[in-house]
Copies of this chain bind each other. A is one copy, B any other.
Amino acid sequence: MAEQRIRVVLVDDHPVVRAGVRALVDAQDDLDVVGEAADSTQAVAVVGETRPDVVLMDLSLGDGPGGAETTRLVRELPSPPHVLVLTTYDTEADVLEAVDAGAAGYLLKDAPPDELFRAIRGTARGETVLAPSVATRLLQRAASPTPKVSPREVEILRLLAKGLGNKEMARELLVSEATVKSHLSHIYTKLGVDTRAGAVATAIERRILRP
């Protein structure tokens, strides 16, 4: 059956997870783990050397560039491999970021091994593979596009989460209180809330703020 083994590289900062995926994937006779990387730099190097068909990419890589950025770097290599994101979270922001970084699929770590194998094979063939829960979220977001929060607004959100009042934010950002209120109004509109507490909760949920 295995005309040609599918060559896989793992990118994950957790040794345990790498060992797990390797153990599972190597047990399949049409799949080969040809390399591992724990961070972004290693990932690019290993992919360049081993020229795999598929890269399994974790999104949180500890310090340094994250999985999304690493995906972008890998996809910019000549004749790049397909990237299958394999991660714990299914927050919409993560998915979107990964997808527009060039990821071909998105799986959650709690997926049963079978699903993982099918996903790898599909990705190798150039198919797009999404975990059901992720697909659902994507569709929801597609229906109501998330307006982008501007950098300045993120700044406001950060201070908001620290519990600052408008006056204090104004001082902190060297602008007038009126400006702060203006930003806040825009934030409310974009996040679909109408209170500061709701804005903070939604911002964290959407991963605009890191908890």
* A residues 141-164 in Cβ contact with B at 8 Å: 160-164
CB nearest to A108 among chain B residues: B14
Find the B residue at minimum CB distance from A27.
B19
Q: Which residues of B contact A161 (CB under 8 A)?
A: 197-198, 200-201
**A15 and B197 within 8 A (CB):** no
A13 CA to B110 CA, complexed, in Å: 7
CA distance A162 to B205 in the complex (A): 11
Out of B16, B113, B162, which one reaches A198, CB within 8 Å? B162
Indicate if A109 sits at the interface (CB-CB under 8 A): yes
> Within the complex, what minimum Cβ distance (angstroms) separates A110 from chain B?
5
Within 8 A of B (CB), among A62-85: 62
Among A22, A112, A201, find the residue whose CB has the most chain B CB atoms closer than 10 A.
A201
Interface stretch of the complex, out of A94-102, A120-128, A129-137, A188-196 = A188-196
* A51 and B209 alpha carbons, distance in the complex (Å): 43
B residues in contact with A24, CB < 8 Å: 15-16, 19
Once the chains are docked, how many angstroms separate the CA of A92 from the CA of B24? 33
